[in-house]
């Protein structure tokens, strides 16, 4: 399906082929997002020799500053009117910029300084944000059905997890086959992303249509006021707080993953990478399970269940025995099962909120809504890297050392296992009071249908 499609949201559910093509860009995008949290901070601090606290501050500060661009991007996307739609042009425009900056980040050699890191981080995050925002916003208009939206983002999240699995598999495979060292494996990740980005984005934008936006454009300049007005909506506030906590929790575990498994569980880097791979294989298994559960009990209730499961399994990793790799792999598998739930359910829930906002205001604010979600997600991941690295530095933790004090190691375990579990409990408590269920969404869709039909008759009269 190509070009504009005015009937997509009213027709049959998107086919598996359509959703697979739509989800293709998640492969390189997720393959980039994971190293930005897990590999690159540790690589620049440990392998390239930059100061640990400075690296943590750089990743946190650039991520925070990038947040202020999201509402501007979202507003501009909502105001975009082209034959290709609102969102696809933004993906195409930013792809070459993102590919170049990714290359520069991953191919850095010893001797690079803080200026190099700050500059290419900024370029990467700006272009990455634009592509991610356009892609997730585009997914919300592929269907107007309550359950089908969970299906759309189920494919989207499955693509994310597959992308992470593929990029995680590269270093151990290349280490065994081509005898590449750690730096060579990281550079292979970079090449994987750079080459796959244009291929998958061209495939998606060519093969999948985008409905024409018939809602009026807001007659106001892009500004932060409209962004913060969305927080008056109770559904938006609950989704944002849940996204913040459920983004911060895996951000913490991701930024500390190799430190935890190498210095607490006594694994080498290859074994730790294998454990991370198992974690994301479990996430891939879990993605369709949460989508199906949401069809049975509702999206927000399914998210409550997933958050509680995450809290229990993540906290249990601190005391989980590491007497053998298979036993440790079992613990990582259970901890990985709920990983995909937030990505699937919160974005599907926000698509429903978009309908609620359009009924209330008469304006389609899809891009701006997903900018809000992108903002809270970034705050979570920025805090994850910055706070944890500052915390470890304050405890006297040595990134490349093997003689860390018991106090530093206990602090590492609390940060890795206990804190993320508490954040997940907060998310479950927040979402428990969410009120936009399937019945209320159906009423909203019917009211929109009647209003849109009346407006169409007025225009044709």
Per the structure block, which two tokens stand in for 344? 């699937």
User: Nearest Cα to 266, choosing from 321, 316, 315?
Assistant: 321
Complete DSSP assignment for 30-89: HHHHHHHHTTHHHIIIIIS---HHHHHHHHHHHHHHHHTTHHHHHHHHHH---TT-SSHH
Q: So what's the pLDDT on residue 322?
A: 78
pLDDT at 461: 60
**210 bridge partner residues:** 4
Cα 234 to Cα 227: distance, rounded to the nearest angstrom:
14
Query: Residue 150 and residue 152: Cα distance in Å, rounded?
Result: 6
Asked if the structure places residue 461 within a domain, the reply is no
Does some domain include residue 300? Answer: yes
Give residue 2's pLDDT: 43
pLDDT at 8: 40
Q: Is residue 315 part of a domain?
A: yes
Taking the C-alpha atoms of residue 199 and residue 194, their distance in angstroms, rounded to an integer, is 10
In a domain, 450, yes or no: no
| Three-class HEC string of 389-440 | HHHHHHCCCCCCCCCCCHHHHHHHHHHHHHHHHHHHHHHHHHHCCCCCCHHH
Backbone angles phi and psi of 210, in degrees to 5 = -135, 125
Whole-prediction pTM: 0.77
Nearest to 166 by CA among 181, 136, 183, 188: 188
Helix (H, G, I), strand (E, B) or coil at 270: helix
Whether the Cβ atoms of residue 381 and residue 248 lie closer than 8 Å to each other: yes
Residue 457 lies in a domain: no
**Token representation of residue 15:** 């086919």
At residue 454, the pLDDT reads: 77
Do 58 and 121 contact (CB within 8 A), yes or no? yes
Q: Is 283 contained in some domain?
A: yes
How many domains does the chain contain in total? Answer: 1
267: its two tokens: 């694994």
CATH number of domain containing 288: 1.20.1250.20
Q: Is position 9 within any domain?
A: no
Q: Point out the residues of the chain with pLDDT beneath 70.
A: 1-11, 212-227, 382, 400-402, 459-461
- The answer as to whether 415 is a domain residue is yes
Domain with 53 in it: 14-211+219-441
Beta bridge mates, 4: 210
pLDDT given at position 6:
40
Query: Quick one: tokens of 9?
Result: 């949201």
* DSSP string of 211-261, one letter each residue: ----SPPPSS---HHHHHHGGGSHHHHHHHHHHHHHHHHHHHHHHHHHHHH
């Amino acid at each position: 399906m190509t070009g504009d499609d005015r009937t997509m949201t009213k027709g049959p559910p998107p086919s598996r082929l359509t959703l697979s093509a739509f989800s293709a860009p998640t492969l390189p995008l997720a393959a980039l997002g994971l190293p930005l949290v897990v590999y690159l901070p540790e690589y620049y601090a440990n392998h390239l020799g930059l100061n640990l606290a400075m690296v943590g501050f750089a990743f946190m500060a650039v991520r925070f500053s990038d947040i202020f661009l999201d509402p501007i991007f979202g507003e501009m996307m909502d105001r975009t009117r082209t034959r290709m739609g609102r969102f696809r042009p933004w993906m195409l425009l930013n792809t070459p910029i993102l590919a170049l900056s990714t290359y520069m980040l991953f191919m850095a050699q010893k001797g690079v300084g803080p200026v190099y890191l700050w500059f290419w981080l900024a370029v990467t995050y700006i272009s990455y944000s634009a592509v991610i925002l356009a892609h997730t916003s585009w997914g919300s208009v592929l269907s107007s059905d309550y359950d089908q939206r969970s299906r759309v983002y189920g494919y989207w999240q499955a693509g994310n997890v597959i992308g992470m699995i593929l990029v995680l598999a590269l270093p151990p495979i290349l280490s065994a086959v081509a005898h590449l060292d750690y730096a060579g494996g990281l550079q292979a990740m970079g090449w994987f992303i750079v080459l796959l980005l244009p291929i998958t984005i061209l495939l998606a934008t060519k093969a999948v249509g985008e409905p024409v936006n018939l809602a009026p454009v807001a007659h106001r300049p892009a500004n932060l006021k409209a962004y913060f007005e969305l927080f008056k909506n109770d559904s938006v506030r609950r989704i944002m707080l849940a996204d913040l906590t459920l983004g911060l929790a895996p951000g913490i575990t991701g930024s500390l993953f190799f430190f935890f498994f190498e210095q607490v569980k006594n694994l080498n880097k290859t074994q730790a990478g294998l454990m991370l791979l198992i974690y994301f294989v479990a996430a891939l298994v879990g993605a369709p399970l949460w989508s199906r559960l949401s069809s049975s009990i509702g999206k927000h209730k399914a998210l409550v269940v997933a958050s509680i499961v995450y809290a229990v399994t993540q906290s249990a990793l601190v005391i989980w025995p590491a007497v053998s790799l298979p036993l440790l792999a079992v613990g990582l598998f259970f901890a990985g099962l709920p990983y995909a739930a937030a990505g699937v359910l919160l974005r599907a829930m926000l698509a429903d909120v978009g309908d609620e906002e359009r009924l209330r205001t008469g304006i389609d604010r899809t891009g701006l809504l997903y900018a809000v979600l992108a903002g809270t997600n970034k705050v979570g991941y920025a805090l994850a890297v910055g706070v944890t690295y500052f915390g470890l530095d304050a405890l006297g933790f040595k990134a490349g050392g093997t003689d860390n004090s018991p106090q530093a190691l206990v602090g590492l375990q609390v940060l890795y296992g206990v804190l993320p579990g508490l954040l997940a409990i907060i998310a479950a408590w927040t979402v428990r009071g969410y009120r936009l269920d399937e019945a209320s969404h159906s009423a909203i869709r019917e009211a929109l249908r009647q209003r849109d039909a009346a407006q169409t008759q007025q225009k044709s009269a």
